[in-house]
């Protein structure tokens, strides 16, 4: 799934984009936490933070401190 010869955070962002598009994470749903995602992808928490920040900048999710990240329309 993850190609370790390429930058990791864009790959994780793309995986999350696909999950949003296919309905795994529908509009209004909460994404798994960064610790859970870092364990799933076997990467550092900071790598997942960068992927989540990318999705936030694209307007795909909104993040609230202490509450998590949620899928937007």
Domain residue spans in the chain? 8-71
Mean pLDDT confidence for 57-72? 96
Q: How many CB atoms lie within 10 A of CB 4?
A: 8
70 pairs with which residues across the strands? 30, 62
Tell me, what's the pLDDT at 21?
97
The pLDDT assigned to 73 comes to 87
Q: Which residues contact 49 (CB under 8 A, 6 or more apart)?
A: 34
Give yes or no for a contact between 12 and 36, defined as CB atoms under 8 angstroms apart: no
Q: Regarding the domain delimited by 8-71, which CATH topology (the fold level of the hierarchy) does it fall under?
A: Arc Repressor Mutant, subunit A (1.10.10)
Residue 39 predicted with pLDDT over 90:
yes
Quick one: what percent of the chain has pLDDT higher than 90? 97
Q: Which element (helix H / strand E) includes 69? A: strand 68-71
């Amino acid at each position: 799934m993850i190609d370790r010869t390429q930058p990791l955070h864009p790959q994780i962002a793309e995986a999350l984009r696909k999950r949003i598009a296919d309905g795994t994470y529908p509009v209004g749903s909460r994404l798994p936490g960064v610790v859970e995602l870092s364990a799933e992808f076997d990467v550092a928490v900071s790598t997942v933070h960068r992927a989540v920040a990318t999705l936030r900048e694209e307007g795909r999710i909104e993040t609230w401190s202490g509450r998590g990240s949620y899928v937007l329309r």
